[in-house]
């Protein structure tokens, strides 16, 4: 008989990632496939990050500096925050995990605006806490109603903006209203993993107001616009006291040498970020126009992906696309059966996707 796990684990299901290129090529005997399923950067890593990555190879026998001072300084300068306001993680997945470790206990309650990224629920359940779903479908939370769903017992409110998978975002005025209505004892975990893609004028810029809102936490990542998903580096910003408690539960060397060097370089590569943002918007427009012309509803998005209503035959479409070497994400596991999420790719990848859908529609 094996060792019994913590009882909380009985509530957990395995995380289901998007299918990999290898998996699909093997299954259908294909030489290549295109993956527009995990909101990665189709333009690859920032060239400056690649250079920095290669430059550390001779020092791989050394431990990284756990507090990553160069990276923390670079982030503090970029956001005009104090170094005490910053935490790092092995991907922002780990940053979310640190929230669980530092602030959640069995019996606690968290609220999550769903459908959304599943790791918030996973972290909550792992801690033995309860995850209450505030379901907004493909729409947006009414701020007053959302605030009313939160009370003194709510430890964390998870809100993703732009939201994965719908692309919906919340304005600065809405976030400020939410902060004014929820208890000061509820941590607002605002996941801004896709913030850099947002082009809306009223997208929040709250990093400089962390002292004013000690219960606000902003989550960010290098996996998306910086193109470093494989390096695993996420970070977050919050009030110094909150951050100090997160450092206490963080494994000391989880942010590796390559990730630290790559991220510092990527931050300085503003040209790459700008060009990715521009290409992304072009890709979003092409996908939106193409799918709308084929008669599908495409949700407006501020991210690097579009959420599209396919209807009853969505599984058939997913199967057809995969058999032809195109991987996109079905949203049944997010609670949106009938919908798919497609990451904006390079022009030829977007064209390939649209050609395949056209072919499928014609039957
Ligand atoms: C909203 C959101 N937050 C966080 C993450 C985690 O990203 P990472 O762990 O690569 O930083 C993702 C990944 O897709 C995401 O969509």
Dump pLDDT digits (tens) for 297-337.
999 999 999 999 999 999 999 999 999 999 999 999 999 99
Which of 35, 37, 112, 119 should be mutated for ligand 1, with most atoms under 8 A from CB?
119
And the tokens for 97? 């995990």
Print the SS3 string covering the chain.
Answer: CCCCCCHHHHHCCCCCCCCCHHHHHHHHCCCCCEECCCCCCCCCCCHHHHHHHHHCHHHCCCCCCCCCHHHHHHHHHHHCCCHHHEEEECCHHHHHHHHHHHHCCCCCEEEEEECCCCHHHHHHHHCCCEEEEEECCCCCCCHHHHHHCCCCCEEEEEEECCCCCCCCCCCHHHHHHHHHHCCCCCEEEEECCCHHHCCCCCCCCCHHHCCCCCCEEEEEECCCCCCCCCCCCEEEEECHHHHHHHHHCCCCCCCCHHHHHHHHHHHHCHHHHHHHHHHHHHHHHHHHHHHHHCCCEECCCCCCEEEEECCCCHHHHHHHHHHCCEECEECHHHCCCCEEEEECCCHHHHHHHHHHHHHHHHC
Per-residue pLDDT at 15: 78
pLDDT of 10 > 90? The answer is no
Question: Which residue's alpha carbon is nearest to atom 12 within ligand 1?
Answer: 193
Ligand 1 center–CA 92 separation, angstroms: 6
Q: Which pLDDT band, with edges at 50, 70 and 90, does 8 fall under?
A: confident
Is there an atom of ligand 1 within 6 Å of 166 CB? no
116 lines ligand 1 (CB under 6 A): no
Ranges of each domain in the chain: 7-44+271-362, 47-269
Architecture of domain 7-44+271-362 in this structure = Alpha-Beta Complex (3.90)
Residue 18 clears pLDDT 80, i.e. is over it: no
Indicate whether residue 117 lines ligand 1 (CB < 6 A).
Answer: yes
Q: Which fold has domain 47-269?
A: 3.40.640
Confidence of residue 226 (pLDDT cuts 50, 70, 90): very high
5 or 289, higher pLDDT: 289
Looking at per-residue confidence, does 167 or 8 come out higher?
Answer: 167
Evaluate if residue 16 carries a pLDDT over 80. Answer: no
Does the structure show a pLDDT above 90 at 25?
yes
Best residue among 38, 117, 254 to mutate for probing ligand 1's pocket (most ligand atoms within 8 Å of CB) is 117
Residue 87 CA, ligand 1 centroid: distance in Å: 16
| pLDDT higher than 80, residue 278 | yes
Q: Which tens digit of pLDDT belongs to each residue from 40-70?
A: 999 999 999 999 999 999 999 999 999 999 9
* pLDDT band at residue 17 using 50, 70 and 90 as cut-offs: confident
Distance 277 CA to ligand 1 centre (A): 18
Cβ–ligand 1 distance for 234 under 6 Å, the answer yes
Q: What digits encode the pLDDT tens for the residues 255-266? A: 999 999 999 999
The whole-number average pLDDT for the span 178-182 is 98
Please state the atom number of ligand 1 nearest to the C-alpha of residue 92. 11
Best residue for ligand 1 mutational test, from 92, 161, 266 (most atoms within 8 Å of Cβ): 92
């Amino acid at each position: 008989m094996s060792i019994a796990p913590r009882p909380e684990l009985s509530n957990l299901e395995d995380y289901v990632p998007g299918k990999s290129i290898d998996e699909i090529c093997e299954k259908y005997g294909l030489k290549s496939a295109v993956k527009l399923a995990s909101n990665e950067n189709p333009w690859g890593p920032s060239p400056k990050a690649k250079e920095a990555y290669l430059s550390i190879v001779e020092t791989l026998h050394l431990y990284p500096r756990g507090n990553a001072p160069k990276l923390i300084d670079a982030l503090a300068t970029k956001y005009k925050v104090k170094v005490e306001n910053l935490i790092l993680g092995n991907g922002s997945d780990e940053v979310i995990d640190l929230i669980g470790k530092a602030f959640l206990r069995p019996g606690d309650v968290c609220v999550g605006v769903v459908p959304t990224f599943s790791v918030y629920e996973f972290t909550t359940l792992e801690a033995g806490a309860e995850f209450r779903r505030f379901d907004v479908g493909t729409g947006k939370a009414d701020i007053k109603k959302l605030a009313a769903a939160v009370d003194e017992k709510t430890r964390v409110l998870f809100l993703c903006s732009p939201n994965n998978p719908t692309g919906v975002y919340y304005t600065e005025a809405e976030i400020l209203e939410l902060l004014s209505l929820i208890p000061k004892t509820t941590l607002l975990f605002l996941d801004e993993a896709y913030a850099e893609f947002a082009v809306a004028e009223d997208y929040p810029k709250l990093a400089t107001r962390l002292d004013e809102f000690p219960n606000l936490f902003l989550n960010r990542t290098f996996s998306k616009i910086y193109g470093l998903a494989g390096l695993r580096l996420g970070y977050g910003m919050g009030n110094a006291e909150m951050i100090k408690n997160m450092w206490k539960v963080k494994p000391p060397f989880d942010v590796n040498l390559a990730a630290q060097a790559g991220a510092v370089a990527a931050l300085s590569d503003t040209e790459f970020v700008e060009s990715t943002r521009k290409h992304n918007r072009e890709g979003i427009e092409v996908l939106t126009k193409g799918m709308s012309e084929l008669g599908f509803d495409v949700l407006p998005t501020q991210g690097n992906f579009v959420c599209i209503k396919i209807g009853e035959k969505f599984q058939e479409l997913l199967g057809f696309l995969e058999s032809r070497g195109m991987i996109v994400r079905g949203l049944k596991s997010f609670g949106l059966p009938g919908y798919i999420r497609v990451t904006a790719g390079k022009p030829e990848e977007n064209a390939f996707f649209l050609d395949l859908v056209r072919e499928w529609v014609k039957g």
